[in-house]
């Protein structure tokens, strides 16, 4: 696992003043790989996600799980969805989120389509932004 690198990346992301999302890790198999290799890569990404959530929860308290589906529907309908929710909602269905020092920070597993590789993503919002809820 790459947990030390993931934690360092989350810390750098959280210390930057802007709202954005980053890819922490992408599964190392192509779409034409053996199904067993694809399943193993998926399990690795999910295991890293669970371990990262546990570490961040130990550091920042229990996470909240946020459904990004409403943001996806709003963005698809042409609504002005702010970043990082706009970029995330096309990739991630649910996000584990913490509020830390006036910002929210989240991690999730991306794979909205079968053709896309599994990815572990992290995101942070601008100072003072509330957790991503249903768009208003």
What is the percentage of the chain residues whose pLDDT exceeds 90?
69
* 51-83 pLDDT per residue, tens: 999 999 999 999 999 999 999 999 999 999 999
Nearest 10 degrees: CA dihedral of 76, 77, 79, 82?
-10
| 3 state DSSP class of 88 | helix
* 26-43 pLDDT per residue, tens: 987 766 778 788 888 889
132 or 71, greater pLDDT: 71
- The tokens for 85 are 């929710």
pTM above 0.85, yes or no: yes
Provide mean pLDDT across the span 96-122: 89
* 101-111 pLDDT per residue, tens: 999 999 999 97
Predicted pLDDT at 27: 85
Whether 2 has a pLDDT exceeding 90, the answer reads no
Q: Answer for the pair 53, 63: CB distance below 8 angstroms, yes or no.
A: yes
- The tokens for 131 are 């957790």
């Amino acid at each position: 696992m790459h947990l030390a690198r993931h934690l360092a990346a989350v810390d750098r992301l959280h210390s930057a003043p802007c709202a954005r999302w980053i890819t922490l890790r992408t599964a190392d198999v192509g779409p034409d790989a053996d199904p067993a290799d694809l399943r193993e890569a998926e399990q690795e990404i999910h295991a890293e996600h669970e371990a990262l959530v546990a570490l961040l929860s130990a550091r920042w308290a229990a996470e909240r799980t946020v459904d990004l589906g409403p943001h996806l529907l709003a963005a698809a309908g042409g609504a002005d969805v702010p970043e990082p929710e706009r970029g995330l909602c096309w990739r991630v269905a649910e996000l584990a989120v913490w509020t830390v020092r006036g910002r929210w920070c989240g991690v999730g597993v991306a794979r909205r389509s079968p053709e896309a590789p599994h990815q572990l993503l992290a995101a942070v919002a601008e100072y003072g932004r509330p957790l991503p809820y249903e768009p208003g």
